[in-house]
A and B are shown apart, each in its own frame.
Chain A
């Protein structure tokens, strides 16, 4: 899966799940603010990524994911080898 495919697919997933226009997802935009995630809904993001990509995001790693760029990077570097 290429970087472009990851970006496109993640944006579509997040737009659908959190009902936000995908064009709001600037690479350097803050994920939590853009998706209006609170302490209860943040786990939905983690579950969505885990379910879709089989990529787990431990609590310690989650803190380092601030922007969409961070999120794409994390997924790309943790995708299971096929």
Chain B
């Protein structure tokens, strides 16, 4: 699956699209990748990815999983999701430009349209960030 295909799964577009590829998806779990581009809007003055960029990347990875599941279920467009709450965000190291992020997201319980998910981002073998997010997902069709 390439970037063209990711456009079918998530509504975000460049320059705020922060997922390149849905590498694998099974059940409520998915792995997505993103190479931090030089000159990204989310790069701060020190040349490192902003923490908010990491959170957005994890949220978009969850969105890719939701989009994948929606398309498998017959939807014509991916659902739109909103971050409702960020819980227990931990950033161990802000990624550099050119780093390849591999993020595993797992959908947890759902109540009244709010889904609790966990996300962990690695660069190579190093975990650089982890969080729990509450996502509101609105089906389009």
Binding site for B on A (CB under 8 A): 39-40, 42-47, 50, 56-57, 59, 62
**Distance between Cα atoms of A50 and B108 in the complex (Å):** 10
B109 in the interface (beta carbon within 8 A) = yes
**Contact between B116 and A42 (Cβ–Cβ < 8 Å)?**
no
Q: How far is the CA of A40 from the CA of B114 in the complex (A)?
A: 6
B interface bracket (residues with beta carbon within 8 Å of A): 10 to 19
B residues within 8 Å of A by Cβ? 84-85, 108-116, 134
> How many Cβ-Cβ contacts under 8 Å join chain A to chain B?
37
Across the A-B interface, the 10 shortest Cβ-Cβ residue pairs: A43-B111, A46-B109, A42-B111, A43-B114, A47-B109, A46-B111, A43-B116, A40-B84, A39-B112, A47-B116
Chain A interface, DSSP helix/strand/loop, else mixed = helix
A33 to B7 Cα, complex, angstroms: 41
Other A-B pairs beyond A39-B112, A50-B108, A59-B112, 17, CB < 8 Å: A40-B85, A40-B114, A40-B134, A42-B112, A43-B110, A43-B111, A43-B112, A43-B114, A43-B115, A44-B116, A46-B109, A46-B111, A46-B116, A47-B108, A47-B109, A50-B109, A62-B112
A60 CB to nearest chain B CB (Å):
11
Chain B interface, DSSP helix/strand/loop, else mixed: strand
**Chain A residues with Cβ under 8 A from B111's Cβ?**
42-43, 45-46, 57, 59, 62
CB distance from B117 to the nearest CB of A (A): 10
Bound-state Cα–Cα, A46 to B113, Å: 13
Among A39, A42, A43, A47, find the residue whose CB has the most chain B CB atoms closer than 10 A. A43
Q: Tell me the minimal C-beta distance from B22 to chain A in angstroms.
A: 24
**Within 8 Å CB of A42, what residues of B?**
111-112, 114
Min C-beta distance of B18 to chain A, whole Å: 23
A residues within 8 A CB of B112? 39, 42-43, 59, 62
Q: In the assembly, what is the distance between CA of A59 and CA of B109, in Å? A: 9
When C-beta atoms are compared, the residue in chain B nearest to A40 turns out to be B84
